[in-house]
Amino acid sequence: MQEVIQSQDGAGSVRLQRTDAFLVPIVLSYVAMAIVTTLGAGVWSWWALSKGQGEAVEAALPFWQSTTFLTGQGVLLGLVVVAGGVLYRKHRARARAVCEIHGALQDLAQGEQCEQALRLAPELGGYAEAWNALIRENQNKLDRQTDLEIQAVTQATHNAKDSLVGACDAMTAGLILIGKQMDITYANGAAKALIGAAQDDVVGKSALSLITDQEVQDAVKSIISGHLRRMVIIQTDHREQSAIGGGAVLRYQIRPGREQEKEAAVIMIDDITQQSNAEEARLSFVAQATHELRTPLTNIRLYIEELLDEENEDPVEQRKAINVISNEATRLESIVSDLLSVSEMEAGALALSAGDVRLDSLFEELESDYQAQAREKHIELRFELPPKYPTIQGDRAKLSVVFQNMLGNALKYTPEGGKVAVRVEAENEQLCVEVSDTGIGISAEDQQQVFEKFYRARDERIRQITGSGLGLSLAREIARLHGGEIDVRSEIDVGSTFILTLPTRKNAA
Residue 456 or residue 61, greater confidence = 456
pTM: 0.47
Could you give all domains of the chain from N- to C-terminal order, each with its CATH number? 10-139 (no CATH), 171-271 (3.30.450.20), 276-347 (1.10.287.130), 355-503 (3.30.565.10)
Q: Rounded CA gap, 263 and 267, in Å? A: 11
Mean pLDDT of the chain, nearest integer = 75
Residues in the chain: 509
- Confidence at residue 383, expressed as pLDDT on a 0 to 100 scale: 92
pLDDT band at 244 (very low <50, low <70, confident <90, very high): very low
* pLDDT surpassing 80 at residue 266: yes
Q: What is the DSSP letter of 258?
A: P
The model's pLDDT over 174-232, given as tens digits with 9 standing for 90+, comes to 888 888 888 888 888 888 888 877 666 788 888 888 888 888 889 888 888 888 888 88
Q: How far is CA 16 from CA 24, 65, 75, 82, 93, in A?
A: 12, 43, 33, 24, 10
Q: Highest-confidence range of 43-47, 241-245, 365-369, 461-465, by mean pLDDT? A: 365-369
- Confidence at residue 433, expressed as pLDDT on a 0 to 100 scale: 93
Helices (H), ranges, 170-262: 189-194, 207-210, 214-225
Mean pLDDT of 103-110: 75
pLDDT band at 422 (very low <50, low <70, confident <90, very high): very high
The model's pLDDT over 334-385, given as tens digits with 9 standing for 90+, comes to 778 777 777 777 677 777 888 888 888 889 888 888 888 888 889 999 999 8
Q: Rounded CA gap, 265 and 221, in Å? A: 9
